[in-house]
Amino acid sequence: MEKLILKAKSRSVFGKKNKSLRKQNKIPAVVYGHGKESQPLEIDYLVFQRLYEKAGASTLIDLQIDDKEPVKVLVQEVQFSPLEDKYIHIDFHQVKMTEKISAEIPLKFIGESPAVKELGGIPVKNLDKIKIECLPDKLIHELEIDISQIKTFEESIHVQDLKIPEGITVMDKPDETIFLVEAPRSEEELKALEEAPVAAEEAKVEGEEEAKTEETSGEVTEAAGTDSTPKDKEK
C-alpha cells in the first residue's frame, strides 16, 4: 500500500471552544504513545476523511506535526456524531517500530461460493475481522478470503485456514469459524418462521385476557366477602 502522510497543526483551543474549530472544517485530535505526553492537534476535515477511507484503523500513517519530522501512528479511535453526520474527534497512537502492536484486521471476502450460486445456500459470515499481533512494519491493511472454495454445506473456513503473512501472529482461536454456507430453508421451515411471530402475539394477547379475567374475578370475590348486613347485627 502507498505511504500515507497526514499533516497536522498543534491545537491551542480546548473544550467547548473546539466547536469553533469544527466550524472551520477542522477536527480536534490528540496523539499519544510509548512514553510521550499527549499532544492536542487540529487536522483538516476533508484531508482526514479521504485518508481514513484508505487507511482505516489498521494502516500506519506518517503524521507530520507543524512541519516536524513525521512520526508513525495508527488511528486509535474516531468519534463520530450521527446528528451532524461528521467526525468530531480523533485519537492517534504513536508506535515504536521495534515494539509489537495489537490490531484488528478487516477480512475482505472475494469470489463466489458454488454452495450459494449453484445450491441456493445462505452465506454466513461469523467474523468480519481478526485480531493480530506484529511489528508495525508487518501490519497489513486487510486480509482477503476466497470463498469460492466452499462448494458444499459441510465445508467451512476457520481461522486456522487463513494464509497469514510472515511475522504476524493471529490472536483468535484457530478453530473459530469465519465463513460457512447454510442449506436453504424448506417451505415448511419458512412457513413455520412466518407463523411463529403470529402465534407468539396470539399467545400474548390470550395471556393478557386471562390475566384481566382473573383480576376482575378476584375483585368481585373480594367485594362479596366484605359485604356486611347491618340488619343481622340489629337482631
User: Mean of the pLDDT values across residues 72-90?
Assistant: 91
Calpha distance 76→53 (Å, rounded):
15
Cβ count within 10 A of residue 43: 24
pLDDT per residue as tens digits for the range 31-71: 998 777 899 999 999 999 999 988 888 899 999 999 899 99
pLDDT tier at 94 (50, 70, 90 boundaries)?
very high
Residue 121's pLDDT is: 93
- How far apart CA 160 and CA 176 sit, in angstroms, is 8
CATH architecture classification, 101-182: Beta Complex (2.170)
Is the CATH number of domain 5-94 3.90.480.10? no
User: Which tens digits make up the pLDDT trace of 192-219?
Assistant: 767 666 556 666 666 666 666 666 655 5
Strand residues in the chain grouped as ranges (E): 5-10, 26-33, 36-44, 61-65, 71-81, 86-94, 101-110, 122-125, 129-134, 143-146, 156-158, 169-170, 177-182
Exposure string over 177-198, b if 16+ CB within 10 A, otherwise e: ebbbbeeeeeeeeeeeeeeeee
Does residue 98 have a pLDDT over 80? yes
Is the predicted pLDDT of residue 233 greater than 50, yes or no? no
- Per-residue pLDDT at 19: 85
Task: Report whether 95 contacts 72 (CB < 8 A).
Answer: yes
